[in-house]
């Protein structure tokens, strides 16, 4: 899956050096961000989008205590609460509804120098999707760049992954601002929408942009499933030395990885999704296989806002309410969006 230009450039870095070079790349990106941060913080370009709705769409994924998908659920098996008050489900679509998946891939220097196991394993995602599911590919560094539009032809996405080009300079990795832009791209798209984010989690966006993104993710009906690309970098083999113990790891690098992981967790949680932290090709493949199942097993619910007060309302979804067949299933994991902005009076 590697293109010739990427492979040629990588040949300058022996395998045992690559993790060290990648760590240096990440640290240089963060250092550059720190120097420019004073200027960036005065430019808040991603304010919270206050878009009210007259219909609230809620995508719901239900798994049991063993992690198995709960299938064959019907409209009457769900209860939806708006600010704690039960609401009638006005529309319902079972898991067979086609999904729309946007692959958002970090294309900075760190990912460039990896072996590409995350891209090779992405075939497990494409192969696990339904024939009618549509996929788009977008890369980002300083800003998002669309590579392919949505298409049910998975071969188009595969070709895009094979020919993906990476930025080699130590520039910005604006994860939050790029994700905010992608959300705007998806705003008018109908149906089930999922962003599969492939990222180290390093974010040079201004802090206020990151906070605004989390709020917008809570209000939108777009699920984010985040896959960390930093797992292969956590335990690099020092050149010419024995492997360091965990106590000897540089604190700055450890803190950077911890923060990057937390960024991905916060993004996924805000969007009603999940975060994965694979460390090998096999774990990447397993993560993508599960993601393909998640997007294929999403129920689509909708209800009418009970009030027009232009405020943020919380959403709760439960499975098998007490007035339906069977007891309330408290052992189910139910993933869904958590809030929406009610329409104005």
Could you read off the pLDDT of 313-342 as tens digits, one per residue?
999 999 975 444 555 556 788 988 888 889
CB contact set of 12 (below 8 Å; sequence gap of 6+): none
Instruction: Determine if the pTM surpasses 0.75.
Output: yes
- At residue 123, the pLDDT reads 83
Dihedral, CA of residue 153, residue 181, residue 218 and residue 82, to nearest 10? -80
The answer to whether residues 15 and 86 belong to one domain is no
Residue 21 within any structural domain of the chain: yes
CB contact set of 305 (below 8 Å; sequence gap of 6+): 53, 54, 55, 56, 82, 313, 340, 342, 343
- At residue 298, the pLDDT reads 85
The answer to whether residues 122 and 217 belong to one domain is yes
The answer to whether residues 272 and 220 belong to one domain is yes
Of 246, 213, 220, nearest in space to 45 by CA: 213
Give the separation between CA 29 and CA 56, rounded to whole angstroms. Answer: 40
Domain endpoint, select from 263, 278, 296:
296
The answer to whether residues 222 and 325 belong to one domain is no
CATH of residue 204: 3.40.50.410
Distances in whole angstroms, Cα of residue 293 to Cα of each of 124, 195, 277: 11, 14, 18
Range from 3-17, 25-39, 263-277, 326-340 that averages highest in pLDDT: 263-277
Two tokens, residue 144: 């998002």
Residue 247 within any structural domain of the chain: yes
Give the separation between CA 154 and CA 36, rounded to whole angstroms. Answer: 40
| DSSP structure string for 98-145 | -EEEEEEEE-SHHHHTS--HHHHHHHHHHHHS-TT-EEEEEEESSSEE
| Phi-psi sector, 212: left (phi>0), alpha (psi -120 to 50), beta | alpha
The answer to whether residues 65 and 128 belong to one domain is no
Q: Lowest mean pLDDT: which of 25-29, 97-101, 127-131?
A: 25-29
Two tokens, residue 16: 């045992």
The answer to whether residues 80 and 194 belong to one domain is no
**pLDDT for 190 beyond 60:** yes
pLDDT band, residue 5 (cuts 50/70/90): very low
Assign 151 to helix, strand or coil: strand
The answer to whether residues 79 and 115 belong to one domain is no
User: Which residue range is the domain that position 82 belongs to?
Assistant: 56-95+297-341
**pLDDT for 58 beyond 70:** yes
Give the separation between CA 336 and CA 273, rounded to whole angstroms. Answer: 7
Two tokens, residue 227: 């896959």
Residue 77 within any structural domain of the chain: yes
The answer to whether residues 25 and 38 belong to one domain is yes
Give the separation between CA 319 and CA 332, rounded to whole angstroms. Answer: 8
- At residue 196, the pLDDT reads 96
The answer to whether residues 170 and 314 belong to one domain is no
Residue 202 within any structural domain of the chain: yes
Domain endpoint, select from 296, 317, 332:
296
Q: For 283-292, how does the pLDDT look when each residue is reduced to its tens digit (9 = 90+)? A: 888 899 889 8
Question: Count of domains in the chain?
Answer: 2
pLDDT band, residue 57 (cuts 50/70/90): confident
Let me know the angle formed at the C-alpha of 110 by 107 and 111, rounded to the nearest 5 degrees.
Answer: 50
Query: β-strands 56-63, 298-303: how paired?
Result: antiparallel
The answer to whether residues 90 and 182 belong to one domain is no
Residues in the chain: 345
Two tokens, residue 169: 């300079």
């Amino acid at each position: 899956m590697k293109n010739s230009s990427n492979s040629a450039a990588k040949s300058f870095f022996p395998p045992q050096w690559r993790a060290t070079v990648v760590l240096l790349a990440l640290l240089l990106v963060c250092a550059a961000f720190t120097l420019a941060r004073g200027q960036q913080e005065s430019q808040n370009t991603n304010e919270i989008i206050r878009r009210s709705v007259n219909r609230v769409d809620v995508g719901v994924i239900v798994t049991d205590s063993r992690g198995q998908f709960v299938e064959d659920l019907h409209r009457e098996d769900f209860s939806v609460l708006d600010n704690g008050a039960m609401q009638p489900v006005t529309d319902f679509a079972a898991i067979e509804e086609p999904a729309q998946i946007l692959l958002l891939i970090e294309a900075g220097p760190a990912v460039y120098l990896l072996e590409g196991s995350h891209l090779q394993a992405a075939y497990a995602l494409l192969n696990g999707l339904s024939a009618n599911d549509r996929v788009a590919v977008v890369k980002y560094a300083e800003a998002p760049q669309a590579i392919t539009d949505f298409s049910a032809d998975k071969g188009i996405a595969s070709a895009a992954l094979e020919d993906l080009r990476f930025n080699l300079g130590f520039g910005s990795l604006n994860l939050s601002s790029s994700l905010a832009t992608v959300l705007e791209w998806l705003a008018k798209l109908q149906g089930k929408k999922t962003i599969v984010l492939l990222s180290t989690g390093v974010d040079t966006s201004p802090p206020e942009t990151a906070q605004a993104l989390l709020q917008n993710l809570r209000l939108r009906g777009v699920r984010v499933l985040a896959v960390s690309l930093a797992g292969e970098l956590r335990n690099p083999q020092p050149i010419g030395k024995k492997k360091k113990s965990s106590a000897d790891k540089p604190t700055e690098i450890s803190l950077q990885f911890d923060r990057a992981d937390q960024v991905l967790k916060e993004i996924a949680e805000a969007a009603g999704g999940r975060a994965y932290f694979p460390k090998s090709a096999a774990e990447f493949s397993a993560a993508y296989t599960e993601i393909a199942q998640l997007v294929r097993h999403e129920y689509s619910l909708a209800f009418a806002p009970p009030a027009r007060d232009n405020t943020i309302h919380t959403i709760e979804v439960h499975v098998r309410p007490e007035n339906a067949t069977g007891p309330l299933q408290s052992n189910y994991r139910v993933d869904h969006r958590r809030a929406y902005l009610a329409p104005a009076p």
